[in-house]
Amino acid sequence: MISGGGTGGHIYPAIAIANAWMEKHPDSEVLFVGALGKMEMQKVPEAGYKIIGLPVAGLQRKFTLANLSFPIKLLKSLSQAKRIVKEFDPQVVVGVGGYASGPVLYAAQGKKIPTLIQEQNSYAGLTNKILSKKARRICVAYPGMEKFFPADRIVNTGNPVRKDLLNLEGKREKALDHFGLDSNRKTVLVLGGSLGARTLNQGVLREMEEFEKDGYQVLWQCGKFYFQEMADRTEQSGLKHIHVREFIREMDLAYAAADVIISRAGALSVSELSLVGKPVIFIPSPNVAEDHQTKNAMAYVMHHAAVLLKDVEAIGNLKKEVDQILNNPDLAESLGENIKKLAKPHATETIVNEIEKLVA
């Protein structure tokens, strides 16, 4: 059983683990448990797995009316999680973070079923910190996680990523053709996550004419919340080399086309970009618990493996940072080489090995 979700940063690692497990153990049955109304309820069935939704929701950091229903939803979810765990009777339960993982792992631990936590970030979430006390194994992606978890149960595996990112060799021409890009222009790939990032979008809007005038092209995943506005603004501008997408499914091709990448610093993004080995400008989201995206990015900046641009400084400075990299081939090359040194391409297989030890 695999539980968690809420964002792509939780869902895609969960699916990667399930896929790798089923490759080795095709006769197994995998059941996902997620949160009703969250994106896992769509993405997991698309990947070919069954999922059950719980009514659990997050507790808002500031007071809202939604917080009043939190205890009721939590109690209901705990009750349903106990029933689901009893009926499915899993040999092991994996929690990837997100609202649903709390009730499910709590229920499994209550029945003495082995549990494994996969913590993607450099700063552990509260739910995982609580659940780690009874978890048999905690798979992490960053050093120093013993400040959150019992040291004797930590395994530094890295984060699971999609298999198609492991080899981008020879995909550039196909990528340029797929996205309708110009082979004579440098490609700036902008990634704000599946929902979008206002600062990144405003930054590109402000400087898109300069990008095009100076011979760049932009492949821009702006997110579903902003897509219509960004598409309209781009069309009105008459620019031919600013390519707006709500969501990019073919991420291997997007990475293959890119000469420089501007991205948020969610844990999954950071892990994927390590494998890609291209120069990256991280703009951490300030709207996350304990500013963990900045901590994720700094772990790479310390190794001269990425550039950090603060969210408050991003609008008006995007092109300057891009210019500094693309006008300096040695810098671009060293950033790409250094970030690849931090990659863990076998993370998924290592996690599957740890699950196998718990099942044995």
Residue 40, classed as helix, strand or coil, is helix
- Binding site annotation covers 271? yes
- Binding site annotation covers 267? yes
Provide the 8-state DSSP code for 114: -
- Binding site annotation covers 138? no
Q: Which two tokens stand for residue 190?
A: 């902008």
Number of H helices, E strands in the chain: 15, 13
- Binding site annotation covers 20? no
- Binding site annotation covers 285? no
- Binding site annotation covers 105? no
- Binding site annotation covers 192? no
Q: For residue 355, give the H/E element and its range.
A: helix 347-359
- Binding site annotation covers 272? yes
End-to-end CA distance of the chain: 16
- Binding site annotation covers 194? yes
- Binding site annotation covers 7? yes
- Binding site annotation covers 293? yes
Residue 343 — φ and ψ, nearest 5°?
-70, 150
Q: What is the DSSP string of 250-284?
A: -HHHHHHH-SEEEE---HHHHHHHHHHT--EEE--
Q: Which two tokens stand for residue 101?
A: 């993982």
Alpha helices in 53-185 (DSSP H): 70-88, 101-110, 126-131, 172-179
Distance, in Å, from the CA atom of 262 to the CA atom of 321, rounded to the nearest integer, reads 10
Residue 2, classed as helix, strand or coil, is strand
- Binding site annotation covers 79? no
Q: How many CB atoms lie within 10 A of CB 232?
A: 11
Binding residues for UDP-N-acetyl-alpha-D-glucosamine: 7-9, 121, 162, 194, 248, 267-272, 293
Binding residues: 7-9, 121, 162, 194, 248, 267-272, 293
